[in-house]
């Protein structure tokens, strides 16, 4: 089930083979992207089962729609964008996600990276400096830092994020996509992508900090 | 972006509170050279912010490790079904 080598590294030849009905090419595509499609779908829908549905509907749309692929984006981007549209519709249907109009609230100002109470107030020379700086994580033993529990805490923190932040951090940091691809798939500007990533990373860091504090004592 | 609103009050200086909002712009290489210099200057002087940046980097690293732990690939049944649909579509068409 592992994607075979780099024979399809080039989008053009892959698309051509898909259009020719080459099953190996389609199998390669399935194995290559089903995992990332599923994870992205989970940002929009409540259960793994509905995410599975979204993934399968996406692939069926690819089967019937490959002739309409124009190559204006990469095939990867195109496939993921189909998924986002399908999963978003399902999410709305199950009242989980609010349509993208709510992006504004996630970009809002009242969402500081760190609790303002941890900085000194007032107008003096020291205003805005750390009152309660972060404790070093170097003292957390490496095996605990990378433990399954820690990763579960990260996962949980990501699950708790607002929809758009969750999508961005999933694609960027969990899947390691470049910013440009994320902007294309989610159809957001570079600036918004960065703001959402900032919010998301800040919150996950905060969750990890709380997690380490709870468990080191 | 966000942090720039906060920086105006203190000319030139970069307080920790602004630093934490600037971290992503810094890591993404989306910061003008002058701000970058101020950011790095602050970083060199402030243990708390140095730690904070290290934690953000660690957070990104840990998030990247979540993937491998739980691969949600397609089940074999669904995979077969999709391959079947592909086959069918391509034999009946054209």
Q: In terms of domains, do A48 and A123 share one?
A: no
pLDDT value at A5 more than 60:
no
Burial of A150 (0-12, 13-18, 19+ CB in 10 A): buried
Nearest CA of chain B to the CA of A27: how many Å?
A: 7
DSSP string, B3-52: THHHHTTSSS---HHHHHHHHHHHHTT-S-HHHHHHHHHHHHH-HHHHHH
Q: In terms of domains, do A47 and A70 share one?
A: yes
Q: In terms of domains, do A138 and A186 share one?
A: yes
B2/A contact by beta carbon, under 8 A = yes
Q: Is residue A3 part of a domain?
A: no
pLDDT recorded at residue B69: 40
Q: Is residue A107 part of a domain?
A: yes
For A159-217, the pLDDT digits (tens) are 899 888 999 999 999 989 999 999 999 999 999 999 999 999 999 999 999 999 887 65
Place of tokens 């840990």: B62
Q: In terms of domains, do A107 and A168 share one?
A: yes
B57/A contact by beta carbon, under 8 A = no
- Domain total for chain A? 2
Q: Do B20 and A151 touch (CB under 8 A)?
A: no
Q: What interface predicted TM-score (ipTM) does this complex get?
A: 0.85
Burial of A114 (0-12, 13-18, 19+ CB in 10 A): buried
Q: In terms of domains, do A122 and A180 share one?
A: yes
With beta carbons under 8 A apart, name residues in chain A contacting B1.
Answer: 191, 194-195
Tell me phi and psi for residue A89, to 5 degrees: -60, -45
pLDDT recorded at residue A141: 87
Query: Which domain-ending residue is among A93, A121, A144?
Result: A93
Q: In terms of domains, do A61 and A118 share one?
A: no
pLDDT recorded at residue A172: 96
pLDDT value at B33 more than 60:
yes
Q: Is residue A186 part of a domain?
A: yes
A56: domain CATH number is: 1.10.1740.10
Q: In terms of domains, do A106 and A89 share one?
A: no
Q: In terms of domains, do A89 and A106 share one?
A: no
Q: Is residue A4 part of a domain?
A: no
Q: In terms of domains, do A177 and A198 share one?
A: yes
Residues 6+ apart with CB under 8 A from A133: A118, B16, B47, B48, B51, B52
pLDDT recorded at residue A86: 96
Query: Nearest Cα to B32, choosing from B4, B57, B58, B66?
Result: B4
pLDDT value at A11 more than 70:
yes
With beta carbons under 8 A apart, name residues in chain B contacting A35.
Answer: 71-73
pLDDT recorded at residue B11: 43
Structure tokens at A45: 């829908």
Query: Which domain-ending residue is among A93, A110, A129?
Result: A93
For A35-57, the pLDDT digits (tens) are 889 988 988 888 889 999 999 99
pTM flag (> 0.90)? no
Structure tokens at A79: 């496939």
Q: Is residue A53 part of a domain?
A: yes
Beta bridge partners of A119: A130
A88/B contact by beta carbon, under 8 A = no
pLDDT value at A4 more than 70:
no
Q: Is residue A2 part of a domain?
A: no
A184: domain CATH number is: 1.10.10.10
Q: In terms of domains, do A120 and A162 share one?
A: yes
Q: Do A130 and B49 touch (CB under 8 A)?
A: yes
pLDDT value at A131 more than 90:
yes
For B70-86, the pLDDT digits (tens) are 455 788 899 999 999 99
Place of tokens 């033993």: A141
pLDDT recorded at residue A115: 94
Structural domain boundaries, residue A69: 11-93
Q: In terms of domains, do A211 and A108 share one?
A: yes
With beta carbons under 8 A apart, name residues in chain B contacting A30.
Answer: 74, 79, 82-83
pLDDT recorded at residue A104: 64
Q: In terms of domains, do A86 and A122 share one?
A: no
What distance in Å separates the CA atoms of residue A112 and residue B6, rounded to the nearest whole number?
Answer: 11
For A71-106, the pLDDT digits (tens) are 888 999 999 999 999 999 998 877 665 555 456 667
pLDDT value at A125 more than 90:
no
Query: Which domain-ending residue is among A93, A125, A152?
Result: A93
Say which of B16, B48, B83 has its CB closest to residue A26.
Answer: B83
Q: Is residue A106 part of a domain?
A: yes
pLDDT recorded at residue A72: 87
Q: Is residue A52 part of a domain?
A: yes
Please compute the mean of the pLDDT values over residues A112-121 and round it to a whole number: 93
pLDDT recorded at residue A217: 55
């Amino acid at each position: 089930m592992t994607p075979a080598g780099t024979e399809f590294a080039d989008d053009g030849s892959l698309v051509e083979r898909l259009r020719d009905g080459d099953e190996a090419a389609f199998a390669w595509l399935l194995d290559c992207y089903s995992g990332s499609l599923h994870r992205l779908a989970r940002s929009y829908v409540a259960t793994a089962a509905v995410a599975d549905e979204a993934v399968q509907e996406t692939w069926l749309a690819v089967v019937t729609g490959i002739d309409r692929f124009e190559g204006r984006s990469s095939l990867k981007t195109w496939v993921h964008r189909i998924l986002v549209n399908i999963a978003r519709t399902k999410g709305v249907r199950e009242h989980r996600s609010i349509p993208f109009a709510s992006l504004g609230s996630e970009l809002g100002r009242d969402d500081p990276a760190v609790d303002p109470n941890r900085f000194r107030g007032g107008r003096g020379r020291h205003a805005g400096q750390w009152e309660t700086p972060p404790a070093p994580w170097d003292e957390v033993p490496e095996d605990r830092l990378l433990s399954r529990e820690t990763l579960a805490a990260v996962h949980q923190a990501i699950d708790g994020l607002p929809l758009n932040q969750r999508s961005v951090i999933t694609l960027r940091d969990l899947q390691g996509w470049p910013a440009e691809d994320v902007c294309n798939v989610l159809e957001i500007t570079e600036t918004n992508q960065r703001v959402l990533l900032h919010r998301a990373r800040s919150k996950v860091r905060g969750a990890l900090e709380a997690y380490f504090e709870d468990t080191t004592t | 972006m966000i942090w720039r609103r906060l920086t105006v009050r203190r000319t030139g200086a970069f307080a920790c509170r602004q630093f934490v909002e600037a971290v992503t712009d810094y890591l993404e290489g989306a910061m003008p050279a002058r701000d970058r210099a101020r950011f790095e200057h602050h970083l060199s002087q402030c243990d708390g912010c140095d730690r904070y940046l290290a934690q953000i980097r660690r957070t990104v690293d840990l998030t990247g490790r979540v993937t491998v732990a739980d691969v949600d690939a397609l089940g074999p049944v669904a995979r077969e079904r999709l391959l079947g649909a592909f086959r069918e579509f391509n034999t009946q068409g054209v």
